[in-house]
């Protein structure tokens, strides 16, 4: 059965190529995007996340992750104990909020 499905898919691809349906697509001629972060994510979650990101509707989890990365960078650049302490407090808060968001998504997606 798998063999016949592979042949069917290959025929459909060849037909689309012959009809020119696969030319002029967005990203044609460019390298594939780096999606190594999705390696340990199930396919449904990865696809859903990608669709939401392309639509500009990022979940809170992703927004927090970007903020967390920026806070870590500001900690590395901070000079003085007070600045480092403030940056570390922000990192701790963002990490906690990020972990809560991740856990909420996992519970929501669990069967």
Residue 111 is predicted with a pLDDT of 66
Residue 1 is predicted with a pLDDT of 60
- d(CA 108, CA 105) in angstroms, rounded, equals 5
- Residue 102 is encoded by which pair of tokens? 């991740």
Please provide the size of the chain in residues.
111
Give the pLDDT confidence of 16-29 residue by residue, as tens digits: 989 988 888 888 88
What stretches of the chain show up as alpha helix (H) in DSSP? Answer: 2-18, 43-54, 60-77, 81-109
CA within 13 Å, CB half, 52? 13
Place of tokens 């992750």: 65
Do the beta carbons of residue 98 and residue 64 sit within 8 Å? yes
**Average pLDDT estimate for 34-49:** 75
- What pTM does this model have? 0.54
CA dihedral (92, 68, 43, 31) in degrees, to 10, reads -160
């Amino acid at each position: 059965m798998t063999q016949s499905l592979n042949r069917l898919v290959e025929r459909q691809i060849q037909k689309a190529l012959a009809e020119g349906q696969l030319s002029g697509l967005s990203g044609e001629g460019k390298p594939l995007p780096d999606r190594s972060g999705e390696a340990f994510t199930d396919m449904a979650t990865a696809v859903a996340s990608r669709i939401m990101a392309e639509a500009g509707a990022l979940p809170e989890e992703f927004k927090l992750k970007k903020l967390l990365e920026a806070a870590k960078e500001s900690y590395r650049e901070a000079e003085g104990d007070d600045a480092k302490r403030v940056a570390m407090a922000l990192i701790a808060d963002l990490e906690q909020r990020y972990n809560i968001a991740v856990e909420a998504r996992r519970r929501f997606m669990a069967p």
